[in-house]
């Protein structure tokens, strides 16, 4: 492989890596906004959806969003399946 071809391949790899880092950063911002929105909607009443586990005793509390995790999983599965179908 010539040096010119190697430089072109490295440049293409850097371009892809840069786009991936930007996409990952934007994804983290969106996920952070969704988490903040869910916390805002849940407020002081505990879990957002019925079935979420909230235990409050003394000076500590435990929160495990079982149903919220299931709903988010289904929504993400449908969204990613739809996006994968668009690529074909």
Mean of pLDDT values over 54-60: 88
Residue 57 forms beta bridges with which residues? 60
**And the tokens for 85?**
């179908």
Q: Residue 34: what pLDDT?
A: 81
pLDDT over threshold 70, residue 5: no
Within this chain, do residues 25 and 62 fall inside the same structural domain, yes or no?
Answer: no
More confident residue, 52 or 14: 52
Q: Is there a single domain that holds both residue 77 and residue 39? A: no
Is 52 within 8 Å of 62 (Cβ atoms)?
A: no
pLDDT in the model for residue 29: 93
Whether residue 47 contacts residue 69, with contact meaning beta carbons closer than 8 Å, is answered with no
Report how many domains make up the chain: 2
Kindly report, residue by residue over 13-49, the tens digit of the pLDDT: 677 888 889 989 999 998 888 878 877 776 655 556 7
3 and 37 co-located in one domain: yes
Residues of the domain holding 29: 1-43
What pTM was estimated for this model as a whole? 0.49
Residues 1 and 39 in one domain: yes
């Amino acid at each position: 492989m010539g040096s010119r071809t190697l430089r072109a391949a490295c440049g293409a790899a850097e371009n892809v890596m840069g786009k991936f880092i930007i996409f990952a950063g934007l994804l983290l911002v969106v996920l952070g906004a969704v988490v903040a929105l869910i916390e805002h909607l849940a407020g002081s009443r505990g879990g957002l959806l019925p079935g979420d586990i909230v235990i409050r005793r003394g000076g500590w509390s435990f929160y495990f969003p079982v149903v919220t995790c299931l709903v988010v999983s289904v929504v993400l599965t449908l969204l990613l399946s739809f996006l994968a179908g668009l690529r074909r």
